[in-house]
């Protein structure tokens, strides 16, 4: 596992680059996984189903739907505080499990498979997000390029240290309070337009990303487009588990963009933690921070 993890880390490629005409284009995301097949997958051992992909019979989008709606049902069921609520929460748990593992016993029984043709299964997690912010591209680029600022717009980063002209060291709060660390290097930098980066070998979360700042239509500010190719600590399972703790990368990215927008448009990120509320054991159990 250790060997193969080095291979895929080194072969992550940036997801966009300039072609001869100065226009960005999507480039191949081929990794060793595609060349050598699933056996070299580094985190297969952590998820039995991943070693035997024939057990994954729920398609990618459907798995997300299962996980999200399962999570919603769990949360809603628990807030009901009644037996029917508990039944809802239990049903949510089944759905969420189906989403996390990608295995549906009912599909297996009727020989159905909605995962056939999912090519992204082995390529880690691909994240694409966009937001429009009512500030000039220049301001947004300047904020982003000063990587220390990212602590202001993320609640999962513990620290960011700028280590060189193009390099920085990042520490994130991982699951179970285990910090996740990586070094990142800027691989493309077009002032006021684009920043691309990738993690350096040895990263706990290997990823590559690009952020583009594009003027929107008249009166609409600047469009911020972010694309990331990301390998969570334990493959798709890691993303699934992380989702339950609000740590899933696409949610994190969306959340970060919203915080960026709030900060840039209003000068602050409106808070609700720290407000008063009535005491309740159930509340403390499901929402300890509030």
Partner 1 sequence: MKAVCWYNRFDVRVETVPDPKILNDRDAIVKITSTAICGSDLHLYHGVIPTMLPGDILGHEFMGEVVEVGKEVRNLKKGDRVVVPFTIACGSCFFCKSALWSLCDNSNPNAAMAEALYGYSPSGLFGYSHLLGGFAGGQAEYARVPYADVGPIKVPDGLKDEQVLFLSDIFPTGYQAAEQCNIQPGDTIAVWGCGPVGQFAIQSAYLLGAERVIAIDHVPDRLQMASEIGKADTIDYRTTNVGEALREMTGGRGPDACIDAVGMEAHGSSIDNLIDKGMMAAGLATDRPHVLREAIVTCRKGGTVSIPGVYGGFPDKLPMGAAHAKSLTFKMGQTHVHRYLRPLMERIQNGDIDPSFIVTHRMPLAEAADAYATFDKKRDDCMKVVLTP
List of residues contacting partner 1 (CB under 8 A): 68, 72, 75-76, 79, 81, 132, 134, 219-221, 251, 254-255, 258, 261-262, 265-280, 282-283, 286-287, 290
CB 257 within 8 A of CB 191: no
Closest separation in Å from C-beta 181 to partner 1: 26
For partner 1, the closer of residues 51 and 220 by Cβ is: 220
Residue nearer to partner 1 on the CB measure, 103 or 261: 261
Comparing CB distances to partner 1, the nearer of 68 and 158 is: 68
What is the closest distance, in whole angstroms, from the C-beta atom of residue 182 to partner 1 in the complex? 25
CB 225 within 8 A of CB 130: yes
Nearer residue to partner 1 within complex by CB, 159 or 290: 290
The string of DSSP letters for the chain reads -HHHHHHHHHH---SEEE-TTS-EEE-----HHHHH-GGG-TTGGG-HHHHSGGG--S-HHHHHHHHHHHHHHHHHHHHH-SHHHHHHHHHHHHHHHHHHH---HHHHHTT--S-TT--GGGS-EEEEEEEEESS-HHHHHHHHHSGGGGGGG-SSEEEEEE-SSSEEEEEEE-GGG-EEEEEEEEEEEETTTEEEEEEPTT-SSEEEEEEEEEE-STTS-EEEEEEEEEE-TTHHHHHHHHHHTT--HHHHHHHHHHHHHHHHHHSS----TT------HHHHHH-TT-
In degrees, rounded to 5, the angle at the alpha carbon of residue 196 between the alpha carbons of residues 18 and 251 is 125
Shortest approach of partner 1 to residue 88 CB, angstroms? 8
Give least dist CB 69 to partner 1, A. 9
> In the complex, what is the shortest distance from the CB of residue 157 to partner 1, in angstroms, rounded to a whole number?
18
Nearer to partner 1, 42 or 92 (CB): 92
Distance CA 8, CA 31 (A): 7
Structure tokens at 238: 């890691």
CB of 23 to partner 1, least distance (A): 28
Nearest CB to partner 1, comparing residues 23 and 285: 285
φ, ψ of residue 29 in degrees (nearest 5): -105, 25
Q: In the complex, what is the shortest distance from the CB of residue 280 to partner 1, in angstroms, rounded to a whole number?
A: 4
In the complex, minimum distance from the CB of residue 84 to partner 1, in angstroms, rounded to a whole number: 8
- Residue (69 or 123) nearer to partner 1, CB: 69
Residue 21 or residue 277: which is nearer to partner 1 going by CB?
A: 277
């Amino acid at each position: 596992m250790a060997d193969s993890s080095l291979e895929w880390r080194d072969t992550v490629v940036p997801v966009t680059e300039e072609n001869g005409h100065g226009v960005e284009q999507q480039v191949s995301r081929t990794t060793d996984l595609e060349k050598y097949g699933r056996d070299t997958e580094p985190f297969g051992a952590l998820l039995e189903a991943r070693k035997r992909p024939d057990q994954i019979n729920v398609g990618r989008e459907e798995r997300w739907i299962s996980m999200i709606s399962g999570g919603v049902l769990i949360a809603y069921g628990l807030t009901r505080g009644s037996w029917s609520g508990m039944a809802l929460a239990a049903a949510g748990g089944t759905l969420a499990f189906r989403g996390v593992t990608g295995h549906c016993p009912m599909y297996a029984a009727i020989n159905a498979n909605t995962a056939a043709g999912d090519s992204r299964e082995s390529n880690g997690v691909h994240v694409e997000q966009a937001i429009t912010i009512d500030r000039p591209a220049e301001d947004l680029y300047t904020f982003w390029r000063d990587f220390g600022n990212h602590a202001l717009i993320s609640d999962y980063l513990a620290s960011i240290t700028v280590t060189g002209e193009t390099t920085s060291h990042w520490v994130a709060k991982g699951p179970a309070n285990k910090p996740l660390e990586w070094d990142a290097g800027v691989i493309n930098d077009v002032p006021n337009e684009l920043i691309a980066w990738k993690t350096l070998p040895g990263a706990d979360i290997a990823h590559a990303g690009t952020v583009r700042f594009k003027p929107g239509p008249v009166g609409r500010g600047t469009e911020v487009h972010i694309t990331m190719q990301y390998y969570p600590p334990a493959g798709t399972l890691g993303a699934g588990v992380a989702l339950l703790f609000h740590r899933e990368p696409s949610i994190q990215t969306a959340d970060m963009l919203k915080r960026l927008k709030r900060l840039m448009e209003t000068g602050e990120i409106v808070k609700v933690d720290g407000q008063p509320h009535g005491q309740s054991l159930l509340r403390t159990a499901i929402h300890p921070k509030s």
